[in-house]
Amino acid sequence: MNPASPAPKFALNRTGTAVHMALLFGLSGASFGAFSQTQEPAEKTRAETDQGSLILSETTVEGTLDPIATLMPEYAGGQVATGGRVGLLGNKDIMETPFSTISYTDKYIRDRQARDITDVIAATDPSVFTNGIKGGHGESYSIRGFPVSFSDMTVDGLYGMAPFYRASPEVYERIEVLKGPSALLNGMPPGGSVGGIVNLIPKRAADTPLTRLTGTYHSDAQFGGHLDIGRRFGEGNQFGVRFNGVYRDGDTSTDDQSARNVLSALALDWRGERARLSVDLFDSDDHIDGQNRGIGLAPGVGIPKPPKADTLLNPDWASVETQDKGVILRGEYDLNDYVMAYGAVGTSKTNYKYNGALSSALVNQAGDFTTTMGQLKFEIEKTSAEVGLRGHFDTSGINHQWSVNATQYSDKEKDWGRRSVPGANWTTNIYRPVWGPEAPEAWPLIIHTENDLKSYGLADTMSLFDDRLQITAGVRRQEVVTDTFSVVTGARNRPNYDTHATSPAGAILFKLTDNLSLYANYIEGLSKGASAPVSAANAGDVFAPFKSKQKEVGLKLDLGTFTHTLAVFEIKRPNAYTDPATNIYSFGGEQRNRGVEWGFFGSPMMDVRLMGGIAYVDPEVTKSAGGATDGKTATGYPKLQGKLGVEWDTPLLEGLTLTANATSVSKQYISADNSLSIPGYTIFDAGARYTTKVSDKPVTLRASIRNLADKDYWGIPQTQSLGLGAPRTYELSASVDF
């Protein structure tokens, strides 16, 4: 770096280095665009070119009458797909989607050796932030500056049908990310997430038989395996069976911690001439002894130096277990060549149990902290359903792709436990933690609630000028009912929460060429409101679901085997508070996130694959109680992220691929007044993959190192102020296709 040039505004110099790397490789991808289009790529590309020029070819509009098992083709490099499912709108090619989306393939999931969804979606996407903390009770990530609730992942568009806290990715064919609010497209999420939605597409049997066995190792001593079997049979291969079984158990790279994950999934499907049916079943057990948990800060205490990354900030006897099971039934029927009817219904159950530290606070710079032991377990029964029609027609040269649906989600939850166990509070030190004996268990009922969410949506995409101009408009009505019950008598409490909201959306996309699309959208997100507390002057007032509002403009440039995306957005999300002057409770607060995202993916040159980008997000508190934090930066999210993933099929040895990842983030505030922050950091990963044949059987060997430099750093967990980033971790796997 030129010493005379101004230093980049990052907390660490390596942050700037990684961002510069992303810029360099991304721009080099654009430079190699013409060359890449002269290749003979193994994967599908959208348009053939002549000497690098962009040739206009016939355009088709996706999104209508797509069968259950239809997947968008893989893009060049095989890491992402050419498009994905966009909720109510159905399958859409990325160049014809007026929203920011990305769809990761099963190949990328396997090559990442991913153990949860966060490992996939946060690796190279600068719009997705994860705190780097592993070994907790669940996944943790944010999209566009807003945290995403554990419960808001969808499976084929249905809420509540994924494992509640952590989902193993081995059973999914696609992991799709839609960035920004999506009330029109998906309805209101149970957890109220507005930054984005993750949709999981289960694996189904392909026409080619599959039997794949994978053995895995993760340091320090966690071993496991994955069995993936798929078969089709019957006339025209009309029946399909796909089974996935996963088992992992052993010590993790965190001291005194072990983890066990057991998962089985069965997918059955039948496809006829006009009808399709599928059934998906899963059973998951996720258990951790010595669960990681964050720590808080006592008033007036600064942020100490982080301890070694493999330190456990929880007793080794602390444990957490989540058990999930569920079933989904889905069917489709083509009423004619222009209209398809579809429906789906699913049910799932989650049992959760935790015993360990529930809260803690650092009391001095020397690292001493107090802990409060607690216990919590809950049981949630969930049902989710949708029915709808999707079709198309032409009027006066305008093509209409229309969709209408109704959705329903309900859950029944009971919580038991104690937020504080008498006599089980200790003081220890983050650098030399010492713990007392296991806290005795007791499980009084503390919460009993039931939620019911219903919605009705309608959307139409109008295509003009040979489908170059596409205008989408739609509206959704959302109804929400919540009942609470006495934990003593079981009687229903009154009043309950019963209200509704209507949410419109609109988008426009113009294809300047087959390879360049411009788009803009306005879309809202819905989150459950609340009733004013008894301490407020307006006690009992019921607030309808509050609306987060997004405005976004962007472009997408497909160079044949390498694609760039650019988006500029603003999301405004209301917050609730009680006014200190009037004592009136309202949703008068607001956080406004403005940002710009640049991303890229594909194969810019032969034998090289790149994926990554840079995102700048300014999460500003614009309205707060009494104006106390107006103009401050919201906590828990970096303003700047740069990410880069590289794969190179080296000529040194046929079948050998070298891989690397870099993630760089700027500082994050942990106090609302912005007086405390944790520094930015840069994490590097490295790995290799080797494909060959043994006894004529395809074999793939993989090895990777996460956090290559074993960097010690603080992250911000969702439950506390500080948490330790994951230490250096070694991963190995070997796959054989029989």
CB 479 within 8 A of CB 413: no
| Cα dihedral across residues 523, 192, 140, 426: positive or negative | positive
Residue given tokens 């295509």 in the structure block: 463
**142-196 pLDDT, tens digit each:** 999 999 998 899 999 999 999 999 999 999 999 999 999 999 999 999 999 999 9
User: Which amino acid, 570?
Assistant: E
Q: What is the 3-state secondary structure (H, E, C) of 306-336?
A: CCCCCCCCCCCCCEEEEEEEEEEEEEEEECC
Domain that holds residue 370: 13-707+714-737
Secondary element (H or E) of residue 249? strand 239-252
DSSP 18: H
**462-494 pLDDT, tens digit each:** 999 999 999 999 999 999 999 999 989 999 987
Q: Structure pTM?
A: 0.90
**318-340 pLDDT, tens digit each:** 999 999 999 999 999 999 999 99
In a domain, 95, yes or no: yes
- More confident: 543 or 431: 431
Q: How far apart are CA 147 and CA 183, in angstroms?
A: 17
pLDDT of residue 65: 63
Name the nearest CA neighbour of 501 among 454, 449, 551: 454
Any residues with CB less than 8 A from the CB of 269 and at least 6 apart, and which? 68, 69, 204, 205, 239, 240, 276, 277, 278, 279
Q: What is the mean pLDDT of residues 670-693?
A: 96
DSSP labels, 186-208: H---TT---SEEEEEEE----SS
Beta bridge partners, 349, equal 325, 381
In a domain, 2, yes or no: no
**113-124 pLDDT, tens digit each:** 999 999 999 999
pLDDT of residue 618: 98
Asked which of 5-9, 175-179, 681-685 is least confident by mean pLDDT, the reply is: 5-9
In a domain, 1, yes or no: no
Q: What is the mean pLDDT of residues 559-579?
A: 95
Q: What is the mean pLDDT of residues 559-573?
A: 98
- More confident: 20 or 49: 20
Looking at the structure of the chain, the number of domains it has is 1
pLDDT of residue 478: 97
pLDDT of residue 47: 38
The most confident of the ranges 57-71, 327-341, 717-731 is 327-341
> Per the omega criterion (within 30 degrees of 0), is the bond before 220 cis?
yes
Beta-carbon-side half-sphere exposure of residue 547 (alpha carbons within 13 Å): 16
Q: How many distinct helices (H) and strands (E) make up the chain?
A: 5, 38
- pLDDT of residue 1 exceeding 50, the answer is no
- More confident: 78 or 37: 78
Read off the tokens for 532: 């004013």
pLDDT of residue 44: 42
Q: How far apart are CA 28 and CA 44, in angstroms?
A: 22
Q: CB atoms < 10 A from the CB of 371, how many?
A: 24
Q: How far apart are CA 187 and CA 191, in angstroms?
A: 12
In a domain, 8, yes or no: no
Q: How far apart are CA 86 and CA 667, in angstroms?
A: 33
Q: What is the mean pLDDT of residues 505-530?
A: 96
pLDDT of residue 60: 41
In a domain, 6, yes or no: no
CB 542 within 8 A of CB 529: yes
Asked which of 340-349, 533-542, 603-612, 644-653 is least confident by mean pLDDT, the reply is: 533-542
Which 3 state secondary structure label does DSSP give 60? coil
In a domain, 3, yes or no: no
Beta bridge partners, 642, equal 614, 664
Angle at 115 between CA 110 and CA 119, to 5 degrees: 85
Q: How does 523-535 read in b/e, with b if 16+ C-beta sit within 10 Å?
A: bbbbbbbbbbeee
User: Which amino acid, 693?
Assistant: K
Q: How far apart are CA 294 and CA 359, in angstroms?
A: 8
pLDDT of residue 50: 36
Q: How far apart are CA 201 and CA 93, in angstroms?
A: 16
pLDDT band at residue 718 using 50, 70 and 90 as cut-offs: low
pLDDT band at residue 721 using 50, 70 and 90 as cut-offs: confident
In a domain, 426, yes or no: yes
pLDDT of residue 33: 41
Asked which of 77-86, 542-551, 686-695, 711-720 is least confident by mean pLDDT, the reply is: 711-720
pLDDT band at residue 132 using 50, 70 and 90 as cut-offs: confident
pLDDT of residue 589: 93
Q: What is the mean pLDDT of residues 604-626?
A: 96
**233-270 pLDDT, tens digit each:** 999 999 999 999 999 999 999 999 999 999 999 999 99
**426-445 pLDDT, tens digit each:** 899 999 999 988 888 899 99
- pLDDT of residue 5 exceeding 90, the answer is no
Average pLDDT across the chain, whole number: 90
Longest dimension (CA), the chain: 78
Q: CB atoms < 10 A from the CB of 555, how many?
A: 15
Name the nearest CA neighbour of 87 among 393, 468, 545, 404: 404
- pLDDT of residue 614 exceeding 60, the answer is yes
Using CA atoms, how far residue 29 sits from 26, 35, 52, 111, 602, in Å, is 5, 10, 14, 22, 9
pLDDT of residue 151: 87
Q: What is the mean pLDDT of residues 691-705?
A: 97
Q: CB atoms < 10 A from the CB of 177, how many?
A: 24
pLDDT of residue 28: 40
Q: How far apart are CA 669 and CA 674, in angstroms?
A: 6
Q: How far apart are CA 8 and CA 733, in angstroms?
A: 39
* CATH number of 173's domain: 2.40.170.20
Q: CB atoms < 10 A from the CB of 301, how many?
A: 17
pLDDT of residue 68: 59
- pLDDT of residue 55 exceeding 80, the answer is no
CB 577 within 8 A of CB 624: yes
- pLDDT of residue 45 exceeding 90, the answer is no
In a domain, 7, yes or no: no
- pLDDT of residue 306 exceeding 90, the answer is yes
| Cα dihedral across residues 91, 96, 99, 105: positive or negative | positive
